[in-house]
Amino acid sequence: MLDTTKMITIDEYLVFASLPENDGKYFELNNGEIIEMTPPATTHNYIVMRLSNNLYNFVEANDLGFVFGDNNGYALSQWRLVIPHVSFVQKGKLDFPLPQIIPFAPDLAVEVISPSNTHREIAHKIEDYLNYGTKMVWVVYPEDNVIDAIRSKGDGKTLKQRYSIHDMLSGEDVLPNFTVPVAKIFPPQK
């Protein structure tokens, strides 16, 4: 039985997440509290696959590092574990065999917004990514067909670039020369 009166560490999280009754469930660790994640919807999965496929093909063709889809954990601290929907880690930071949990922030994190997400929850997660070293976060809004690219300005403030359905999403300096039409990420418009 998990003691919920104290902050949970990454090691305790891993034990909890591997229990048979948690098979098929997804959890994140937020300031020592285990949070069960809502299973994603079909449109969410479609977007995640489109983005991860485009990123993976580009990264592999250019030998730039690793692209991961859902279910890959990053330990930002002893008390914070995040699982971005898609992520990229630059070459030289990881090697085989890959760890069960990556002990640092990804260079690029992608979060696809679901109806169950709150603005506060997403803002906190973006802040955590950037504070722990993520260079850019793409926040994907399926209902609006837009993607926000968010970066730290280094002074505690952020810079946001919005990409609409008519734009080309850019990897900027995190993935130089990577572009994909935003329209190719979302389901076709009727």
What residues of the chain score a pLDDT lower than 70?
1-5, 28, 38-40, 190
In this prediction, residue 181 carries a pLDDT of 97
- pTM above threshold 0.95: no
**Amino acid, single-letter form, for residue 76:** L
Using CA atoms, how far apart are residues 172 and 149, in angstroms rounded to an integer? 10
The dihedral formed by the CA atoms of 121, 20, 14 and 67, expressed in degrees to the nearest 10? -70
In this prediction, residue 48 carries a pLDDT of 93
41-73+83-184 maps to which CATH number? 3.90.1570.10
Domain ranges of the chain: 41-73+83-184
Backbone angles phi, psi at 49, to 5 degrees: -65, -40
In this prediction, residue 154 carries a pLDDT of 77
In this prediction, residue 7 carries a pLDDT of 84
